[in-house]
Amino acid sequence: MSKLIWILHGPNLNLLGTREPGVYGSTTLAQIDEDLERYGRDRSVKVESFQSNHEGALVDRIQSARAAGVDFVVINPAAFTHTSVAIRDALAAVAVPFVEVHLSNIHRREPFRHHSYFSDLAVGVIAGLGPTGYRLALDYAIESMARDRG
């Protein structure tokens, strides 16, 4: 059965392309998602993307990951990175491995962005590489699933 990877995007990432391009670049979320879906398809892996501005919607989605047969999650929790115990707890509850991605280098930015509620649970964290970060996280997910299969 083919593997399933979820890409989860938090609030305001639907505005990528026009949102603070000096910080987040000019690539739109649709372009990022299309690229990831194509990248997965070329490697026989199903990639599904979901964006929400609502904490509860992300919690609901994560809670459904096990039943949906999700093998790996790539998540950019956006502003919820720095605030959401609820999304953290949902990821801990479903225990699906995940990589945390940020377009910008949160450690070069305001002090309130330096703390993440996710990093200590994540398999790994990528920050500051723009959309390439998602691609690297996806690559890692595909590689690690193949490794686990032995």
Length of the chain: 150
What amino acid occupies position 75? I
Catalytic site includes residue 140: no
| CB 29, CB 9: distance < 8 Å | yes
Tell me the pairing of strands 124-127 and 98-102: parallel
Task: With contacts defined by CB under 6 A, name the span among 40-48, 52-60, 90-98, 101-109 that binds ligand DQA.
Answer: 101-109
Q: Which stretch binds ligand DQA (CB under 6 A): 43-51, 52-60, 77-85, 135-143?
A: 77-85
89: its two tokens: 């707890």
Residue 126 makes contact with ligand DQA by CB under 6 A: no
Instruction: Give the shortest CB-147-to-ligand DQA separation in angstroms.
Output: 27
Q: 10: closest CA among 58, 47, 60?
A: 58
Taking CB under 6 A as the rule, does residue 51 contact ligand DQA? no
Least distance (Å) between residue 82 CB and ligand DQA: 6
The correct pick among 3, 71, 104, 134 for binding ligand DQA (CB under 6 A) is: 104
Place of tokens 């990432």: 13
Which active-site residues does the annotation give?
24, 102
